[in-house]
Amino acid sequence: MSRAETTVRQENPRARSPLWTLGLLRSELTTTFRRWRTLALLAVLAAVPVLIGIAVKIETGDGSPAGGGGGGDGAGPAFLTQITNNGLFLVFAALAATLPVFLPMAVGVVAGDAVAGEANAGTLRYLLVAPAGRTRLLLAKFTSTMVFCLVATLVVAVSALVTGALLFPLGEVTTISGTRIGFGDGLVRAVLIAAVVAASLVGLAAIGLFVSTLTNSGVAAMATTVGLLITVQILDTVPQLDAIHPYLFTHHWLSFTDLLREPLYWDEVLDNLGLQALYAAVFGSAAWARFTTKDITA
Amino acid sequence: MAPNDSAQTTDGNFAAGRRKAARYIVPVAVAGVAAATIGLVPALADSGDPDLPKITAQQLVEKMAASDTQQLSGNVKISTDLGIPSLGGIADSLAPRGGDEGSSADPQARLMELASGTHTLRVAADGPDKQRVSVLGDAAEYSLIHNGGEVWAYDSASNEAFHTKAPAEAKGSGKDSGKHEKLPEGVPTTPKGLAEEALKAADDTTSVTVDGTTQVAGRDAYQLLVEPKQSGSTIGSVRVAVDAENGVPLKFTLTPSSGGKAAIDVGFTKVDFGKPSADTFTFTPPKGAKVTEGDDGPKAREKDFGKDFKGEEGLKDFEGLNVIGKGWTSVAEISSPGGEAGAGSEAPEAGDVPPQAQQFMDALGDKVSGEFGSGTVFETRLVNALMTDDGKVYVGAVTKDALVRAADAAK
């Protein structure tokens, strides 16, 4: 008897607080994903693999290999030559094609809008009226942005998988090392790669959130975030700046392709994840410092 | 909690300002700690050189020769800085690939890329019959697989494969010499191959010493230091890190005498002496891959590879070739410009160049003159070439002055 009583007593206060946090998060998620803008972004992302798939199908309709026929220099997006042999490669090709521009742009829009958009619309102060606290609100915003990263990546991956399955044969997967793995194994790798791609966007999401706390204009925050992204990507291509390249958050983005080697090659992937965690820590705490001390006037 | 409240009063302004500033310490601290970690961890992890029993150079070389390690797998990092702007472009123009001439998976063209820049390789070996080398590229991989009598090359970027039969003697001789990771093509991409090349040149012109210990890929190793005794060589020193346990060379560093960054730096970043899994060495061309069969024998190719990596050896193919001097300061003299410019030689012959090209080449090189007449010197960090106005070419891993002296002596 007494034991049962104590467990009940202990459980109650514990159970309440995480549920409360989840409530805030849930409302954040619904506001994010119910926006027409978010849905439009996801629709554009879903369209990219479909376009790639159809283009490859049309180009190779006469039996010629993809990737510019005789050129064979590996130009164009990665894995393009493999799509006709295995539809699963459309997933990898689509992720490689969307990761540099489309995915981070979508994340930049959502992250940049997270706080500044509310401030712009005059709804931020009402959010803060609820006894949740600014830190918790910021955490909920950050978490919902990360959920968006994951959802956006999965939308691309699933759309690519469906398109690939409809247009091309599926079957054993040839890794880029030339060895073969089963289709199930290939699917596992696709899921792993999608997770790594989503995690690659975390650094940018943190930067976007920080920028978002600096201004009251949602558009300015989005533009700054996307502008920063483009600047960093340009810096990453300048050979004279070799020394700083390993610390740019976009530098290791395409390292997810290392997961298609046999055996797996983790070095760069782990570099990437560590770097993203670092950016998330620095800009997340900067966003926290700014947001918790800022005068909310709108 | 909300600064709005405290900011209302004038008294609170100062305190609130301080509190605001205090919060920004967090991101700054996180960034600072991260920067310190990036800067310090390598220094801390480098816990000094391992304490190993003293050993003479002779013993160390014997240890290497006696090494019978047949199985290994690991990652190798190759950095080359030969002082040539981009050999990739030159290689492309000299060895066209992709076109009618052959497949982009043809090892001959692809392995030249290793001669400039930094590359990560994966190597695996299991006895003399099974080896594999993969060059990891961006979202692509180029693999060379030797399994029994078959040699496959696969380029994942273009999905093209290249197939040829392994030379018979490579199978036999591998066992005797213990060249466990030497591919039939004879590419010295692994530390062992390069160390053997360097030691082959060791005679009375060379000093070979043991220069302390080091750690490579987490393994304790002795450092073998090879230096030319003669002056005038562009090669400053060659360092080979040899595994203290089994005598396998783990790292090879070639420093030019002009100092600075190593010209060639090949070393394991990860190594495992266990048996690699058998399917590492199996290869069947994937569906849809374009397969090119190697038409000329692998032996011919073997020669070409040597040329790519060791300019002087390749030059033996030239007619009218004459080697002046010996050891490190030997200079090759090529008198007849009839031969086609090989992939390994930096200096094209003077005879059949249009005047514009001649001008351009003059801009690249330095004019020199001496008893031999006058000519142009083309310099890289390792190999220098002197092209005299009367069409002779002197090439060697020697300084400009030594080159001129050799030309004078030949006159």
Contact assignment for B98 to A71 by CB distance below 8 Å: yes
| Strands, E assignment, B278-320 | 290-293
Using the Cβ of A174 and the Cβ atoms of chain B, whether some distance falls under 8 Å is answered with: yes
CB B268 within 8 A of CB B283: no
Residues 6+ apart with CB under 8 A from B340: none
Contact assignment for A70 to B24 by CB distance below 8 Å: no
> CA-CA distance, B64 to B70, in Å (whole number)?
13
User: What confidence score (pLDDT) does residue B46 get?
Assistant: 62
Q: Look up the domain containing A159 and give its range.
A: 39-67+75-293
Segment holding B228, helix H or strand E: strand B219-228
Asked if the structure places residue A19 within a domain, the reply is no
Contact assignment for A85 to B143 by CB distance below 8 Å: no
Question: Measured between beta carbons, which residues in chain A are less than 8 angstroms from residue B32?
Answer: none
A234: tokens are 């340009």
Segment holding A283, helix H or strand E: helix A267-293
CB B254 within 8 A of CB B264: yes
Contact assignment for A71 to B26 by CB distance below 8 Å: no
> CA-CA distance, A281 to B304, in Å (whole number)?
52
B303 plus B352 within the same structural domain: no
User: What confidence score (pLDDT) does residue B168 get?
Assistant: 55
B139 plus B280 within the same structural domain: yes
B404 plus B302 within the same structural domain: no
Q: In chain B, which residue's Cα lies nearest the Cα of A295?
A: B4
Contact assignment for A72 to B152 by CB distance below 8 Å: no
The single-letter DSSP state of residue B295 is: -
User: What confidence score (pLDDT) does residue B200 get?
Assistant: 66
> CA-CA distance, A283 to A105, in Å (whole number)?
18
Question: Measured between beta carbons, which residues in chain B are less than 8 angstroms from residue A78?
Answer: 138-140, 157
> CA-CA distance, A182 to A190, in Å (whole number)?
12
Question: Measured between beta carbons, which residues in chain A are less than 8 angstroms from residue B93?
Answer: none
Among candidate residues A208, A236, A237, the one with its CA nearest the CA of residue A224: A208
* Shortest alpha-carbon distance between residue A280 and chain B (Å): 10
Using the Cβ of A261 and the Cβ atoms of chain B, whether some distance falls under 8 Å is answered with: yes
Q: What is the pTM of this model?
A: 0.74
B128 plus B175 within the same structural domain: yes
Asked if the structure places residue A11 within a domain, the reply is no
Contact assignment for B34 to A258 by CB distance below 8 Å: no
Residues 6+ apart with CB under 8 A from B294: B106, B151, B162, B163, B164, B165, B301
Asked if the structure places residue A27 within a domain, the reply is no
Q: What percent of chain B clears pLDDT 90, i.e. is strictly above it? A: 0
A160: tokens are 């690519």
Question: Measured between beta carbons, which residues in chain A are less than 8 angstroms from residue B37?
Answer: none
> CA-CA distance, B148 to B131, in Å (whole number)?
9
Q: In chain A, which residue's Cα lies nearest the Cα of B124?
A: A263
User: What confidence score (pLDDT) does residue B244 get?
Assistant: 85
* Shortest alpha-carbon distance between residue A3 and chain B (Å): 39
Q: In chain B, which residue's Cα lies nearest the Cα of A84?
A: B288
Contact assignment for B157 to A78 by CB distance below 8 Å: yes
Q: What is the CA radius of gyration of chain A?
A: 22
Stretch B361-368: mean pLDDT: 72
B328 plus B302 within the same structural domain: no
Centre a 10 Å sphere on the Cβ of residue B219 and count the other Cβ atoms it contains. Answer: 18
Strand order across the beta sheet in which B150-155 lies: B206-216, B219-228, B235-243, B249-256, B264-272, B71-80, B117-126, B130-137, B140-147, B150-155, B160-165, B290-293
Asked if the structure places residue B181 within a domain, the reply is yes
User: What confidence score (pLDDT) does residue B298 get?
Assistant: 46
A32: tokens are 């994010």
B131 plus B193 within the same structural domain: yes
User: What confidence score (pLDDT) does residue A278 get?
Assistant: 93
User: What confidence score (pLDDT) does residue A63 get?
Assistant: 55
> pLDDT tens-digit profile of B223-273?
888 888 777 788 888 888 888 888 888 888 888 887 777 888 888 888 888
Contact assignment for A78 to B140 by CB distance below 8 Å: yes
Asked if the structure places residue A137 within a domain, the reply is yes
Give the number of domains in chain B.
3
* Shortest alpha-carbon distance between residue B143 and chain A (Å): 6
User: What confidence score (pLDDT) does residue A77 get?
Assistant: 62
Residues 6+ apart with CB under 8 A from A256: A95, A99, A193, A196, A197, A200, A269, A272
B66 plus B29 within the same structural domain: no
Give the number of domains in chain A.
1
Residue A272: which pLDDT band, with cuts at 50, 70 and 90? very high
Q: Using alpha carbons only, give the angle A95, A99, A105 rounded to the nearest 5 degrees.
A: 135
Task: Choose, out of A129, A135, A174, A270, the residue to mutate when testing the contact with B (most B CBs < 10 Å).
Answer: A174
> CA-CA distance, A129 to A123, in Å (whole number)?
10
For B157, phi then psi, to 5°, come to -65, -40
Contact assignment for B26 to A79 by CB distance below 8 Å: no
CB B23 within 8 A of CB A292: yes
Q: Bigger pLDDT: B246 or B114? A: B246
B384 plus B267 within the same structural domain: no
Helices B57-66 and B191-200 cross at an angle (nearest 10°) of 130
B133 plus B177 within the same structural domain: yes
Q: What percent of chain B clears pLDDT 70, i.e. is strictly above it? A: 64
At which residue do the structure tokens 């220098």 appear?
B384
Using the Cβ of A62 and the Cβ atoms of chain B, whether some distance falls under 8 Å is answered with: no
Q: In chain B, which residue's Cα lies nearest the Cα of A277?
A: B34
A263: tokens are 């055996």
Asked if the structure places residue B51 within a domain, the reply is no
At which residue do the structure tokens 């801390």 appear?
B44
pLDDT at B89 over 60: no
Task: Choose, out of A293, A294, A296, the residue to mutate when testing the contact with B (most B CBs < 10 Å).
Answer: A293
Q: What is the CA radius of gyration of chain B?
A: 27
Q: In chain A, which residue's Cα lies nearest the Cα of B21?
A: A289
Q: Look up the domain containing B251 and give its range.
A: 57-309
CA distance between the termini of chain A:
54
Asked if the structure places residue B50 within a domain, the reply is no
* Shortest alpha-carbon distance between residue A269 and chain B (Å): 13
Considering A54-58, B52-56, B242-246, B260-264, the range whose residues carry the highest mean pLDDT is: A54-58
Contact assignment for A70 to B290 by CB distance below 8 Å: no
B272 plus B395 within the same structural domain: no
For B214, phi then psi, to 5°, come to -155, 175
- What does pLDDT average to over chain A? 84
Question: Please, what's the b/e burial string for A41-70 (b: 16 or more CB within 10 A of its CB; e: otherwise)?
Answer: bbeebbebbbebbeebbebbeeeebbbbee
**Sign, CA torsion A63/A67/A69/A73:** negative
Asked if the structure places residue A14 within a domain, the reply is no
We report the CATH number of the domain holding residue B178 as 2.50.20.10
Using CB atoms, pick whichever of B31, B139, B286 lies closest to residue A178: B286
CB B291 within 8 A of CB B161: yes
Stretch A231-237: mean pLDDT: 93
Task: Choose, out of B9, B282, B287, B291, the residue to mutate when testing the contact with A (most A CBs < 10 Å).
Answer: B287
pLDDT at A210 over 90: yes
CB B191 within 8 A of CB B249: yes
Among candidate residues B281, B268, B278, the one with its CA nearest the CA of residue B242: B268
Using CB atoms, pick whichever of B30, B99, B140 lies closest to residue A176: B140
> CA-CA distance, B251 to B249, in Å (whole number)?
6
Centre a 10 Å sphere on the Cβ of residue A150 and count the other Cβ atoms it contains. Answer: 16
* Lowest mean pLDDT across A154-163, B88-97, B290-299: B88-97
User: What confidence score (pLDDT) does residue B177 get?
Assistant: 37
Last residue of a domain, one of B309, B341, B364: B309
Q: In chain A, which residue's Cα lies nearest the Cα of B269?
A: A267
Residues 6+ apart with CB under 8 A from B232: B329, B398, B399, B401, B402, B405
User: What confidence score (pLDDT) does residue B311 get?
Assistant: 43
Query: Is the bond preceding residue B337 a cis peptide, omega within 30 degrees?
Result: no
Asked if the structure places residue B38 within a domain, the reply is yes
CB A236 within 8 A of CB A255: no
* Shortest alpha-carbon distance between residue B1 and chain A (Å): 8
Q: B243 exposed, middle or buried (CB, 10 Å; 0-12, 13-18, 19+)?
A: buried
Q: Bigger pLDDT: A44 or A74? A: A44
A68: tokens are 């510019």
Q: For chain A, what is the total number of helices (H) and then of strands (E)?
A: 10, 2
- What does pLDDT average to over chain B? 71
pLDDT at B80 over 50: yes
Residues 6+ apart with CB under 8 A from B81: B116, B261, B262, B263, B381
Last residue of a domain, one of B265, B291, B309: B309
Asked if the structure places residue B8 within a domain, the reply is yes
Using the Cβ of A57 and the Cβ atoms of chain B, whether some distance falls under 8 Å is answered with: no
Task: Choose, out of B159, B162, B290, the residue to mutate when testing the contact with A (most A CBs < 10 Å).
Answer: B159
User: What confidence score (pLDDT) does residue A262 get?
Assistant: 80
* ipTM score of complex: 0.72
Contact assignment for B286 to A85 by CB distance below 8 Å: yes
Amino acid identity of residue B397, one-letter, is A
Stretch B377-383: mean pLDDT: 81
Question: 3-class DSSP state for residue B234?
Answer: coil
User: What confidence score (pLDDT) does residue A5 get?
Assistant: 45
Q: For chain B, what is the total number of helices (H) and then of strands (E)?
A: 11, 18
